Chain A
C-alpha cells in the first residue's frame, strides 16, 4: 500500500493495515549473563547447595536470564537489528551484564 495513502487515513489501521499475510515470524532467545568480573553471590550459593546435594565437581555456577521472544519483521537482518537494540537498551545493563542472541525464523 502506498505510504501516502496510509498517511491520509491514520485512523483506519484496521482497514489499511499494510501487513501482508506472509510477514516473516521469528523466534528469538536472548541470554543475559553477569559479566565475568561481577560477583554472582546467588550463583555461588547455588553452587554450595549442589555440593550439599551430593553433586561433585561443580567448580563454577553463574546465574543469568533467558528471555524468549516472538516477533514479526520484514527480514532476518531487520529482526536482528531490533533485537540487538532491545537487548542493549533494555534486557541487559551493559555495565554489569553481557548478552547473546539466538534467532531463527519460525
Chain B
C-alpha cells in the first residue's frame, strides 16, 4: 500500500501532500519525478498544486506531455486512484482524464482563503464518509480555478453523478459552483481546494483528512 506524489518542475505542494499523507495520516508515500514511468506498487497517485512548467502556455498544458502522465493514463484506466489538487486538477483536464477546463478567476484575483464546500455526491470512495449536502471547509489558493465546460459536458457530469464538491459561496465564477469533479467510474478526482492543507490540526482544520485517507481505502 503506497501513494505516489508527482513532482513537476514548478510543483510547490508536493511536500505538503507528503506531510499530510505520511506525517499526519501515516500512509506510506513516495515522490515520483515527472520523468518516472514506473508506477508499480502504487495504489494511488497525487498530482499536487503549484505551477508545473511555469504554467507556460496554459496551466497544465505542458505537464500533460510528461512521461509520468503517459504511465498515469494506463494506471487510471486500470482503476488506480488519481487525485489532482489545484494545478493537478488543471493537469487532469488538459490530459483528458477529466472533462472541462480551468480558466481565469472571474474577478481576476488570486484567491487565497478558506472555502466552505458542499458535498454534492458521496458515490465515490473519496467522499463516501460524507453525506450529500454536508459541508466541509478547505483552503483554496488559485488564480485560475473557474471551472468551464460545455452545456453537454455539464449535463453528462450531472447524469454521471460526477460533481463531487460545490462551493457554498462561489469565489471564482465556476459554472454550477463546481469545486471538484470525478470521472464516471469515480477513481479519478480533481479539485481546486487543498485537502492537504487541512490535515494537520495545528493548521486550524482537518476536513481534508477524509479525502486523503480515501487514497488507500
Contacts and interface: CB of A to CB of B under 8 A. Distances in A.
Instruction: Answer yes or no: are A and B bound together in one complex.
Output: yes
Interface of A: 34, 38-42, 45, 90-91, 93, 95-96
A34 B146 CA distance: 14
Given A90-B57, A91-B57, A96 B103 contact: yes
A45 B109 CA distance: 12
B53 to A, nearest CB: 12
A45 B108 CA distance: 9
Contacts of B101: 93, 95-96
Nearest to B64: A90
Nearest to B153: A95
16 contacts: A38-B148, A39-B103, A39-B106, A39-B146, A40-B104, A41-B104, A41-B108, A42-B104, A42-B108, A45-B108, A90-B61, A91-B57, A93-B61, A95-B148, A95-B149, A96-B101
B136 to A, nearest CB: 28
Contacts of B149: 95
B148 A96 contact: yes
Given A93-B94, A95-B100, A96-B148, A41 B61 contact: no
A95 B106 contact: no
A106 to B, nearest CB: 24
Nearest to B108: A41
Contacts of B106: 39, 41
Interface centre among B93, B103, B106 (most CB of A within 10 A): B103
